Amino acid sequence: MGGCSRVKLSGCRVGLSCQRFVIYSLWHFCKYPAPLDFERLGADGHVTNGNAQSGVPCGGSSLAGKSQRDAALKGIEVGRARSLAVRAAALLIPLLMAGCAPLFVVSSLQPGAFLLLNLSYLSLAILAGGIVVGARAVLHRMGRAAPLDPSQKPWLLGAIVATAVTLSYFQVFKQLVLPGRGFPLDPIIAAAEQKLLLGHDAWEVTHALFGSLLPTLILDTAYALWLPIMFLFPAAVVVAIADRQVRGRLVGTWVISWILIGSYGAWLLASAGPCYFNALVGPHEGYVRMTEALHALNRQASHYGLSVQALYFQDMLRQSQGGPLVFASGISAMPSMHVAMATLFVIGGFQKSRRLGYFFLCYALLIWIASIHLGWHYAADGILGALMMTSLWLVSAPVARLIAFGVRAAAPAKHLQTS
């Protein structure tokens, strides 16, 4: 009891410290002046800015005048970059800390296992970054892409670190914190689904349409490919998207979605999913038949040296539930991060090209169907995940303007748009 009390007391102290940091950071974010617009030069040879009435002389034909102008522009550019970094950190760090706050009260978390988990995700993130850079180099040699810009290298490093840190913290939350919530919403979701489908489960619809072996293996493979695409996405965005604001919105939405959708959303809407209903919630005849149908398809696939991979992963996650921290584990159904992240793939694809956007749109639909067909999710899980990710993307636009231009600069821009 004494150890438990000390853990809770320590968690409360850390929570208060996080609250103070969030309050200070947001205050600093709003207080910090808007960045200087060093590209606007006055007719009199001065650098003009809405925050200052005086200018910096930069005109003249003499060498001294040119040097003063270059020094002034360099100083303004450095100040602008510094203010941008401060605003980005002041907004993203508190959100990341808020998402990681439950870690401080997890008494079962072993430092060694947590370090190993971080190193595993960091290695995979570095590998993903190397694959993306290598692909860009190959395309450059083929004359189909420009070489990697030096300004993209800090972004790439940030994307690698963000991938490793975000996924390792999410892993701890999903495997060690979320089980304490239980799965109270599964009966409600399952009953609502049956009412909407006139007494049928959603998996019965997909199995009626795609219940043979070949479509099932295609859906199973598409679902398995989601994991490497998810790892590659932040680094690919940094390398492929030229617009810095769009690039920042995509990577930022990727990070925040694991906190708001994958962690807080999963806690509020705690559910295990159809494949775990009988083991973790209670008896359900429909999901027993679903499991039997999938195992029958798996036996058919074994004649060709193949298998339904979802059955193996479902058993692996069930065995690791609530146990020691292991890589890629944890059970959660609503909202579906698979469909939510596939929705972000669609958004990112359209930012690059319409063809790529439509490709990922088809892939996202496959992921949603597969999530139902293989028993991972209820139909509503994917719909809600897609809506939540779309909402995060829309909200990221004004947030990106605040980070880039500051609170004081965003207000005049909004006024000009409405006038």
Quick check: is 158 in a domain? yes
- The count of domains in the chain is 2
How confident is the model at residue 86, as a pLDDT? 58
Task: Please state the rounded mean pLDDT for residues 380-390.
Answer: 96
Task: Please state the rounded mean pLDDT for residues 180-191.
Answer: 92
Same domain as 189, residue 94: no
As a whole number of angstroms, the distance between CA 49 and CA 192 comes to 58
Same domain as 364, residue 217: yes
The percent of residues in the chain predicted with pLDDT above 70, rounded, is: 69
Is 283's pLDDT higher than 60?
yes
| Tens-place pLDDT, residues 150-176 | 888 888 888 888 898 888 888 888 888
> How far is CA 270 from each of CA 167, 373, 402, rounded to the nearest angstrom?
19, 21, 33
Same domain as 282, residue 141: yes
Quick check: is 355 in a domain? yes
How confident is the model at residue 118, as a pLDDT? 78
The mean pLDDT value of the chain amounts to 78
| Tens-place pLDDT, residues 91-113 | 555 555 544 554 555 556 666 77
Same domain as 263, residue 238: yes
How confident is the model at residue 149, as a pLDDT? 81
203 in Cβ contact with 285 (< 8 Å): no
Task: Please state the rounded mean pLDDT for residues 330-344.
Answer: 94
CA torsion, ordered 271, 275, 278, 280, to nearest 10 deg: -40
Is 125's pLDDT higher than 80?
yes
The percent of residues in the chain predicted with pLDDT above 90, rounded, is: 47
111: preceding bond cis by omega (within 30 degrees) = no
Which residue, among 301, 275, 269, has the nearest Cα to 288 in the 3D structure?
A: 275
Q: Is 286 exposed, middle or buried (0-12, 13-18, 19+ CB in 10 A)?
A: middle
Q: 39 versus 400: which is more confidently predicted? A: 400
How confident is the model at residue 84, as a pLDDT? 55
201 in Cβ contact with 193 (< 8 Å): yes
Quick check: is 239 in a domain? yes
At which residue do the structure tokens 């991979």 appear?
A: 309
Is 213's pLDDT higher than 70?
yes
How confident is the model at residue 321, as a pLDDT? 75
Quick check: is 262 in a domain? yes
| Tens-place pLDDT, residues 7-33 | 333 444 444 344 444 434 434 433 444
At which residue do the structure tokens 């359209």 appear?
A: 350
Boundaries of domain holding 63? 1-107
Structure tokens at 222: 């598409």
How confident is the model at residue 7, as a pLDDT? 36
How confident is the model at residue 9, as a pLDDT? 38
How confident is the model at residue 2, as a pLDDT? 44
Q: Which of 107, 126, 157 is the last residue before a domain boundary?
A: 107
Same domain as 170, residue 136: yes
